[in-house]
């Protein structure tokens, strides 16, 4: 019984440690004022109303959504066929691919930014300060999640048998891929897309260093709002947090 | 119609090899955009950093590295980065270890709740995390005011080394729990019963059975937490507006600061940062190998 009490208290402390900052931010965003009292004085949604009518916030949120969704669309169009080709035609490449996709994951974004800023600041590809450079970086952030998830889905079905069966029934390779293989990848793809989405939304380093005020995303907007009221910034933090929670929930739903 | 590879049962014993790689050139074309993106946005910047770290106005030289190693300012950045990464990883690891061990001993409903909470809070990183802590324990934070009123603290200095460690530890915990929790599957419940039958006390069980079995997982988790911390930039930058001297903050300010830019210096700092990551990973691999030999 003593052991049970101990384990329950440890888990309770863990929950407390993790949730207190979130709950405090939530309460702060919902309160008009909060001085030296345990609970704030009066609750209201006024900070959220102010935030969601702020055109700068809506524009930044829109930019974030545009660049993230654009990246995920491009990544799907590029990565899905690539993983399939590796599995179907060049299975020997899988090892190399697994090593390559880890590079963007292992190298800190600050380091990559140093190279990117210097390569794309002038020359033929002058894309620094535009959303295009973010699309490129975000592609590499999404890559490990999407590749691994798709590779796992493909490994769990017998690609060659399915393709051979489709060929025997008269389907061409592209048709067989679209109608036989692709439906099998749907769940894994959706789960990895939502996971990647929440990672992309969380990016501050690339957005701040490569695009900055030229293309102010949600995270950069939040940082630039640091001098305003803490109630207002906590309303931004909570709005962002709830949105990523929604994405996490979708990821979990599709992972089952 | 291709019927060359109709397997009779299950997987073909001999892998079907294309007769010629050239036969698959349309398929290979589909890989082109993939490699193009990877090269443009991941490999090319890495190569640029490596090459330019040994470039100065006088040509090829190690002067950048020499400047870094002889500068107290850069050495402080390395000291701070190392100290904060090690402390936040160790504290985060201990909390996750205790948490993961207890998580296995509570009811399924509570366990699922904690797993979803760790999943949720792993989203709170970077700028939003720094802001949440400013609201809670900043100079005028709700908790700071409360504790000061009760006379428990004079002042908590969030915008300092301890503050950065606190925030880093917060983002290490969910990661640590998620990584360590599955490792506890390798501990058989019967071992603890057997140890206590043989007269071992609880600490002896953990000292001689539990922790040695978990050691590879603990070590691996530590490396990931350390790498996570030493490469982090956003939360420390947002907390101190770039005034706290970390390697990542230095690198970023050398390529995007307002005063003057020294991209080659940033490249050399980046290479040193990567070398530190490589070194830690290599030590981890070596320890794992040594441990595996020892176990045999």
* CATH number, domain containing residue A163: 1.10.3720.10
pLDDT in tens, B81-127: 999 999 999 999 999 999 999 998 888 899 999 988 998 898 899 99
The reply to whether B50 falls in a domain is no
The reply to whether B180 falls in a domain is yes
State the pLDDT at residue A38. 66
Q: B146 in contact with A at a CB cutoff of 8 Å? A: yes
Report the number of distinct structural domains present in chain B.
Answer: 1
Of A17, A114, A222, the CB nearest to B128: A222
pLDDT at B34 over 60: yes
Partner-chain contact A110 B3, CB within 8 Å: no
State the pLDDT at residue A113. 94
Residues A125, A239, single domain; the answer is: yes
Q: Are A36 and B146 in contact (CB under 8 A)?
A: yes
pLDDT at B3 over 50: no
What is the C-alpha to C-alpha distance for residues A248 and B232, in angstroms, rounded to an integer? 22
How many percent of chain A have pLDDT more than 70?
98
pLDDT in tens, A164-222: 999 999 999 999 999 999 999 998 899 999 999 999 999 999 999 999 889 999 999 99
The reply to whether A217 falls in a domain is yes
Residues A107, A188, single domain; the answer is: yes
The reply to whether B51 falls in a domain is no
State the pLDDT at residue A2. 82
**pLDDT mean over B173-187:** 90
The region of weakest confidence among A6-20, A181-195, B18-32, B147-161 is: B18-32
State the pLDDT at residue B2. 41
- Quick one: CA torsion of A105, A107, A108, A112, rounded to 10 degrees? -110
Report the number of distinct structural domains present in chain A.
Answer: 2
Residues A209, A156, single domain; the answer is: yes
State the pLDDT at residue B12. 47
- Mark which residues 182-221 of B lie under 8 Å from A by CB: none
Sorted by sequence, the CB contacts under 8 Å of residue B194 that are 6+ apart come out as none
Of B28, B241, B267, the CB nearest to A114: B267
Residues A84, A4, single domain; the answer is: no
The reply to whether A50 falls in a domain is no
User: Looking at CA atoms only, how far is residue B37 from chain A in angstroms?
Assistant: 7
What is the C-alpha to C-alpha distance for residues B79 and B64, in angstroms, rounded to an integer? 19
The rounded mean pLDDT for chain B is 86
The reply to whether B9 falls in a domain is no
pLDDT at B241 over 50: yes
Which residues from B are below 8 Å from A229, CB to CB? none
Alpha carbons within 13 angstroms on the beta-carbon side of residue A210 total 31
Residues A151, A245, single domain; the answer is: yes
The reply to whether A120 falls in a domain is yes
pLDDT at A128 over 90: no
**pLDDT mean over B56-73:** 86
Residues A69, A38, single domain; the answer is: no
Q: How confident is the model at residue B274 (pLDDT cuts 50, 70, 90)?
A: very high
Q: How confident is the model at residue A35 (pLDDT cuts 50, 70, 90)?
A: low
Residue B223, domain extent: 63-295
DSSP lists the bridge partners of residue B59 as B56
Residues A36, A96, single domain; the answer is: no
Partner-chain contact B274 A111, CB within 8 Å: yes
DSSP B241: T
State the pLDDT at residue B268. 94
Q: What does R_g of chain B's alpha carbons equal in angstroms?
A: 25
Residue A241, domain extent: 55-255
Of A34, A114, A219, the CB nearest to B266: A114
Alpha carbons within 13 angstroms on the beta-carbon side of residue B186 total 14
Of A10, A233, A248, the CB nearest to B98: A10
The reply to whether A113 falls in a domain is yes
Task: Tell me if residue A208 falls in helix, strand or coil.
Answer: helix
Measured between CA atoms, the residue of chain A closest to residue B107 is A8
The reply to whether A49 falls in a domain is no
> Which has more confidence, A126 or A216?
A216
Which residues from A are below 8 Å from B40, CB to CB? 125, 136
The reply to whether B23 falls in a domain is no
Residues A38, A99, single domain; the answer is: no
The reply to whether A126 falls in a domain is yes
Measured between CA atoms, the residue of chain A closest to residue B228 is A108
The reply to whether B214 falls in a domain is yes
Which residues from B are below 8 Å from A21, CB to CB? 124, 129, 132-133, 136, 170
State the pLDDT at residue A62. 96
Q: Could you tell me whether strands B55-56 and B59-60 are parallel, antiparallel, or unpaired per DSSP bridges?
A: antiparallel
State the pLDDT at residue B6. 43
User: Looking at CA atoms only, how far is residue A193 from chain B in angstroms?
Assistant: 15
The reply to whether B232 falls in a domain is yes
Please report the ipTM that was assigned to this predicted complex: 0.90
A157 closest CA partner among A235, A96, A83: A83
pLDDT at B40 over 60: yes
pLDDT at B16 over 70: no
Q: Which two tokens stand for residue B224?
A: 């990931």
Q: Are A210 and B45 in contact (CB under 8 A)?
A: no
Residues A118, A245, single domain; the answer is: yes
The reply to whether A99 falls in a domain is yes
Q: How confident is the model at residue B295 (pLDDT cuts 50, 70, 90)?
A: low
First to last CA, chain B: 53
State the pLDDT at residue B7. 44
**pLDDT mean over B153-157:** 74
What is the C-alpha to C-alpha distance for residues A177 and A85, in angstroms, rounded to an integer? 10
**pLDDT mean over B143-161:** 80
pLDDT at B5 over 60: no
What is the C-alpha to C-alpha distance for residues B265 and B71, in angstroms, rounded to an integer? 12
Residues A67, A177, single domain; the answer is: yes
Best residue of B2, B6, B39, B42 to probe chain A, by most A CBs closer than 10 Å: B42
The reply to whether B20 falls in a domain is no
Partner-chain contact A22 B131, CB within 8 Å: no
Q: Which two tokens stand for residue B14?
A: 């001999």
Residues A108, A235, single domain; the answer is: yes
Which phi-psi region, left, alpha or beta, contains residue A237 (left: φ > 0; alpha: ψ -120 to 50)? alpha
The reply to whether A213 falls in a domain is yes
CATH number, residue B204: 1.10.3720.10
pLDDT at B1 over 50: no
Measured between CA atoms, the residue of chain A closest to residue B255 is A114
Residues A5, A118, single domain; the answer is: no
State the pLDDT at residue A4. 87
């Amino acid at each position: 019984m003593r052991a049970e009490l101990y384990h329950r208290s440890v888990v309770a402390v863990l929950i407390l440690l993790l949730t207190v900052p979130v709950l405090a931010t939530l309460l702060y965003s919902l309160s008009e004022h909060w001085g030296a009292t345990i609970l704030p004085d009066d609750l209201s949604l006024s900070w959220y109303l102010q935030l969601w009518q702020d055109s700068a916030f809506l524009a930044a949120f829109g930019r974030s959504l545009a660049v993230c969704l654009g990246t995920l669309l491009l990544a799907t169009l590029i990565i899905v066929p690539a993983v399939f080709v590796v599995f179907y035609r060049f299975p020997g490449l899988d090892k190399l691919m697994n090593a390559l996709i880890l590079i963007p994951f292992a190298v800190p974004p600050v380091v990559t930014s140093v190279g990117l800023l210097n390569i794309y600041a002038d020359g033929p590809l002058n894309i620094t300060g535009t959303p295009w450079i973010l699309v490129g970086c975000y592609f590499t952030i999404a890559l490990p999640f999407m590749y691994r998830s798709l590779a796992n889905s493909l490994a769990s079905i017998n690609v060659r048998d399915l393709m051979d069966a489709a060929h025997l029934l008269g389907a061409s390779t592209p048709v067989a891929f679209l109608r036989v293989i692709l439906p099998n990848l749907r769940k894994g793809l959706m789960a990895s897309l939502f996971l990647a989405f929440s990672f992309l939304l969380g990016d501050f380093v690339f957005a701040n260093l490569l695009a900055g005020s030229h293309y102010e995303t949600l995270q950069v907007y939040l940082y630039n709002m640091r001098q305003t009221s803490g109630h207002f910034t906590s309303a931004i933090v909570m709005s962002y947090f709830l949105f990523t929670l929604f994405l996490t929930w979708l990821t979990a739903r599709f992972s089952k | 119609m291709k019927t060359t590879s109709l397997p009779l049962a299950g997987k073909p014993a001999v892998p079907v090899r294309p007769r010629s790689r050239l036969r698959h050139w349309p398929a290979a074309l589909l890989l082109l955009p993939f490699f193009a993106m990877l090269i443009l946005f991941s490999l090319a910047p890495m190569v640029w950093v490596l090459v330019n770290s040994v470039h100065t106005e006088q040509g090829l030289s190690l002067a950048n590295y020499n400047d870094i190693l002889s500068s107290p300012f850069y050495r402080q950045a390395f000291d701070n980065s190392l100290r904060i990464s090690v402390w936040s990883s160790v504290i985060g690891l201990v909390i996750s270890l205790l948490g993961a061990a207890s998580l296995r001993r509570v009811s399924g409903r509570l366990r699922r709740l904690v797993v979803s909470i760790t999943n949720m809070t792993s989203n709170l990183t970077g700028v939003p995390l720094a802001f949440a802590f400013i609201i809670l324990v900043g100079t005028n934070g709700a908790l700071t005011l409360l504790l000061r009123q009760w006379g428990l603290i004079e002042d908590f200095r969030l915008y300092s080394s301890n503050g950065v460690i606190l925030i880093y530890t917060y983002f290490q915990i969910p990661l640590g729990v998620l990584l360590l929790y599955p490792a506890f599957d390798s501990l058989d419940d019967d071992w603890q019963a057997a140890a206590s039958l043989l007269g071992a006390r609880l600490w002896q069980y953990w000292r001689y059975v539990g922790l040695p079995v978990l050691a590879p997982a603990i070590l691996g988790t530590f490396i990931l937490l350390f790498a996570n911390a030493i490469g982090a930039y956003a939360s420390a930058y947002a907390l101190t507006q770039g005034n706290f001297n970390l390697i990542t903050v230095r690198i970023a300010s050398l390529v995007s600061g307002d005063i003057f830019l020294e991209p080659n210096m940033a490249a050399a700092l980046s290479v040193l940062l990567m070398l530190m990551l490589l070194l830690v990973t290599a030590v981890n691999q070596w320890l794992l190998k040594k441990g595996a030999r020892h176990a045999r």
